[in-house]
């Protein structure tokens, strides 16, 4: 029996990478899905209709820009109207920029703060009344091991990911008596387009080859010497949605190959 049959999930940034895998795993568990993110319209339609066909659920797509609070509220309203509410919210949309602090562009700082941190405040604020009304909800923030530790050249990303762990704790307390949990997952490196894009940038910044970036930068702190897999992050999201996780709230769960143990 599908774990989440009849529930509805909104996954921000679900047209690629981790979010795409999370949306599929939740659909497999019977959730109706609101997809969100950017990308090629035809490819997104293939993804949306594919979820409906394969899992027998209803899937919608919103191109809401996570920098725009009004667009976020409109996306949640659409999910409430067309899919009957948002029971599971996965704040996943995120971007990265790599540069030393004294060269870090102001507009990149602002965009990373807006997408990786502030959007989660706006989505939570928009879904919380509906979750309270139903007396059930699951909020899962895809943070990062960079919510727990820092790496050079990532001032905005590390600040935003540390911030989202603070948001996770407060939301967990504010909604605790409403049957709503809020947790964060802190993955190490997952080989998605976001990471692929960093490889040439890091090679340039560190003055090393792309192969060396993988070995000496990306997997340096993974004790297990392998990337984290999207499907494993998605499986943890499904666990956090299960009844067995009902008393887990306000926590940051690393899935980082042993990075934060060091």
> Contact between 192 and ligand NAD (CB under 6 A)?
yes
Answer yes or no: are the C-beta atoms of 146 and 161 closer than 8 Å.
yes
Answer yes or no: are the C-beta atoms of 117 and 146 closer than 8 Å.
no
Q: Which stretch binds ligand NAD (CB under 6 A): 59-67, 101-109, 204-212, 246-254?
A: 59-67
Q: DSSP string covering 144-206, please?
A: -GGGTS--TT-HHHHHHHHHHHHHHHHHHHHTGGGTEEEEEEEE--B-SHHHHHHHHHHHHHH
Near ligand NAD by CB under 6 A: residue from 31, 76, 142, 241: 142
Query: Which residue, 39 or 84, is less far from ligand NAD as judged by CB?
Result: 39
Which entry of 55, 61, 153, 157 is annotated as an active-site residue?
157
- Interacting positions 66-105 with ligand NAD (CB under 6 A): 66-67, 92-95
> Contact between 202 and ligand NAD (CB under 6 A)?
no
C-alpha torsion 17→19→21→27, nearest 10: -160
Q: For residue 67, which phi and psi values (nearest 5 degrees)?
A: -85, -5
CB-facing half-sphere around the CA of 44: CA atoms within 13 A: 18
SS3 of the chain: helix, strand, coil, percent, to 5? 55, 15, 30
Near ligand NAD by CB under 6 A: residue from 8, 11, 16, 98: 16
CB of 179 to ligand NAD, least distance (A): 26
> Contact between 193 and ligand NAD (CB under 6 A)?
yes
Degrees to nearest 5, angle at CA 167 with 110 and 93: 50
Q: Which stretch binds ligand NAD (CB under 6 A): 15-23, 102-110, 201-209, 238-246?
A: 15-23
Q: Which stretch binds ligand NAD (CB under 6 A): 99-107, 184-192, 209-217, 238-246?
A: 184-192
Query: Which residue, 111 or 178, is less far from ligand NAD as judged by CB?
Result: 111
> Contact between 13 and ligand NAD (CB under 6 A)?
yes
Q: Which stretch binds ligand NAD (CB under 6 A): 32-40, 102-110, 120-128, 204-212?
A: 32-40
189 is catalytic: no
Near ligand NAD by CB under 6 A: residue from 18, 76, 165, 238: 18
Q: Which residues of 7-16 are buried (b: 16+ CB within 10 A; e: fewer)?
A: bbbbbbbbbb
Query: Which two tokens mark 107?
Result: 């507009």
Point out which residues bind ligand NAD (CB under 6 A): 13-19, 36-39, 65-67, 92-95, 115-116, 142, 144, 187, 189-190, 192-195
Which residues have a catalytic role annotated?
157
């Amino acid at each position: 029996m599908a774990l989440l049959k009849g529930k509805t999930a909104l996954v921000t940034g679900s047209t690629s990478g981790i979010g795409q895998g999370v949306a599929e795993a939740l659909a497999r568990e019977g959730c109706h899905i609101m997809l969100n993110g950017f990308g090629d319209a035809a490819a997104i339609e293939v993804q949306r209709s594919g979820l409906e066909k394969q899992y027998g659920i209803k899937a919608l797509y919103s191109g809401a820009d996570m920098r725009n609070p009004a667009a976020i509220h409109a996306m949640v309203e659409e999910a409430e109207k067309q899919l009957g509410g948002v029971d599971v919210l996965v704040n996943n949309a995120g971007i990265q920029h790599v540069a030393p602090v004294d060269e870090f562009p102001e507009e990149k700082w602002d965009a990373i703060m807006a997408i990786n941190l502030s959007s989660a405040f706006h989505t939570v604020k928009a879904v919380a009344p509906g979750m309270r009304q139903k007396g059930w909800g699951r909020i899962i923030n895809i943070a990062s091991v960079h919510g727990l530790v820092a790496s050079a050249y990532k001032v905005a990303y590390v600040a935003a990911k540390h911030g989202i762990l603070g948001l996770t704790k407060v939301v967990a307390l504010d909604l605790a008596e409403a049957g709503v949990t809020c947790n964060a997952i802190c993955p190490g490196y997952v080989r998605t387009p976001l990471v692929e894009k960093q490889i040439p940038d890091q090679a340039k910044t560190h003055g090393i080859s792309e192969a060396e970036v993988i070995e000496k930068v990306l997997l340096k702190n993974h004790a297990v010497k392998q990337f984290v897999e999207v499907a494993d992050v998605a499986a943890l999201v499904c666990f956090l949605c299960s009844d067995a996780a009902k008393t887990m709230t306000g926590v940051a769960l690393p899935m980082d190959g042993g990075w934060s143990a060091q």
